[in-house]
Amino acid sequence: MREFGYRRVSDVATAVAVLDAEPHARFLGGGTNLVDLMKTGVERPALLIDVRELPLDRIESTEGGGLRIGATVTNSDLAAHPEVRRRYPALTQAVLAGASGQLRNMATVGGNLLQRTRCGYFADVNKPCNKRVPGSGCPAVEGEHHNHAILGASGHCVAVHPSDMGVALTAFDAAVSYESADGPGELPLAEFYLPVGDTPHLETALPPGALITGVTLPAAPVAARSRYRKVRERASYAFAIGSIAAALDVRDGVVRDARLAFGAVASRPWRARAAEEVLVGAPADATTFAAAADAELAAAKPLPRNGYKVTLMHNLVVSELTALAEGVAR
């Protein structure tokens, strides 16, 4: 790890101004990802701007019936918040499915959205990686990729986004607010993550130097009946090999509203809009659910050793929607 400067800031304007003056600076939130990446040499900032004490640690109801979540709210506080649990139970479940109790106490909402892939090639500075060193190649395509992307990837990068929280936020149309030297701004999560293409090192649409200040969840009555399910290679404390956030509103046997997002299948939390289109207006039965899964997964391009993920996601769509239709809490 290289030597670096450290500065703790207590207001957003200062945070943004300090970063503007030092292009090799990074914001430090909980540090659960950044400090690890500094130890492995993937990140080498000259200055850390500690934003943990910024007054962005509140969760408030919006006038429209949604929630505004501050960027420095910890994962633990987010998951435990009564309004999150009441209005967006899948979000609480997603957060609780991630990492460990210790890490959830440290990690923040803003940092969670910006966390980097856990691809083993990305994390090892002795190996090529287009995301880390543009143009160096992607050894995962021919190498170890059993937990890599099946959707939206390119030959340049097949890494997946590791967030659980982001999957639920994506399903519920969250928007990311930020502050930059040019003033405040907002990006829908759907536009927040950039497509992989041939620029896997460019991950988000945040303007340079911007600080995430919070996430806004619009009102979504459908989210009150939602679930998050995560499959991983041990029962806890592991990243997903496939996960799903699902919400379903069924009346008189017909799907009125549906939300679906997938985790661990793409470079970003994957909103399953093709599946949602099949669902809305169709009978809430296994045939519809399977058709919805097929519609979304038609675009899947599995690698030689991750084809099982297509089946996994298909099965998760059917089982989670079935459970929601039957009124099972989780």
- Residue ranges in 24-43 that form contacts with another protein under rule CB under 8 A: 28, 30-32, 35-36, 38-41
| Residue closer to another protein, measured from CB, 50 or 294 | 50
Distance CA 282, CA 262 (A): 21
CA dihedral of residues 324, 217, 265, 233 (deg, nearest 10): -70
Considering only residues 208 to 237 of the shown chain, the ones binding another protein according to CB under 8 A are 230-231, 233-237
**Nearer of residues 12 and 140 to another protein, judged by Cβ:** 140
Which amino acid makes up residue 130? N
Shortest separation between residue 190's beta carbon and another protein, angstroms:
26
* Interactions with another protein, residue window 304-323 (CB under 8 A): 305-308, 311-312, 315-316, 319
Find out whether 241 and 307 touch, Cβ atoms under 8 Å. no
Of the candidate residues 16, 19, 42, 48, the single one contacting another protein (CB under 8 A): 48
User: According to the binding rule CB under 8 A, does residue 52 interact with another protein?
Assistant: yes
Closest CA to 228 of 274, 163, 293: 163
Which of 17, 123, 181, 194: binder of another protein (CB under 8 A)?
123
Task: Report whether 182 contacts 207 (CB < 8 A).
Answer: yes
From candidates 55, 65, 101, 197, binder to another protein by CB under 8 A: 101
In terms of Cβ atoms closer than 10 Å to its own Cβ (0-12, 13-18, 19+), residue 291 is middle
Applying CB under 8 A, does 118 fall inside the site for another protein?
yes
Give the N- to C-terminal CA distance of the chain in Å, as an integer: 43
| Residue whose CB is less far from another protein, 33 or 177 | 33
CB closer to another protein, 93 vs 154: 93
- H/E/C letters for each residue in 66-99? CEEEECCCEHHHHHHCHHHHHHCHHHHHHHHHCC
Binding to another protein by CB under 8 A, coded x per residue (else -) over 139-178, reads: x--xxx-x--------------------------------
Name the maximum alpha-carbon separation found in the chain. Answer: 63
Query: DSSP letter at 222?
Result: G
Query: CB 74 → another protein: shortest distance, Å?
Result: 8
Distance (Å, rounded) from C-alpha 170 to C-alpha 61?
19
Length in residues, the chain: 330
Minimum distance, C-beta of residue 62 to another protein, in the bound complex (Å): 19
DSSP secondary structure of 125-146: TTS--TTTSTTS--TTTTSS-T
Using rule CB under 8 A, residue 200 touches another protein: no
> Taking CB under 8 A as the rule, does residue 238 contact another protein?
yes
Of residues 251 through 280, those in contact with another protein by CB under 8 A are none
If one asks whether residue 133 binds another protein (CB under 8 A), the answer comes out as no
Which CB atom, from 259 or from 309, has the smaller least distance to another protein?
A: 309
Q: Which is nearer to another protein, 298 or 329 (CB)?
A: 329
When asked if residue 185 is in the footprint of another protein (CB under 8 A), the reply is: no
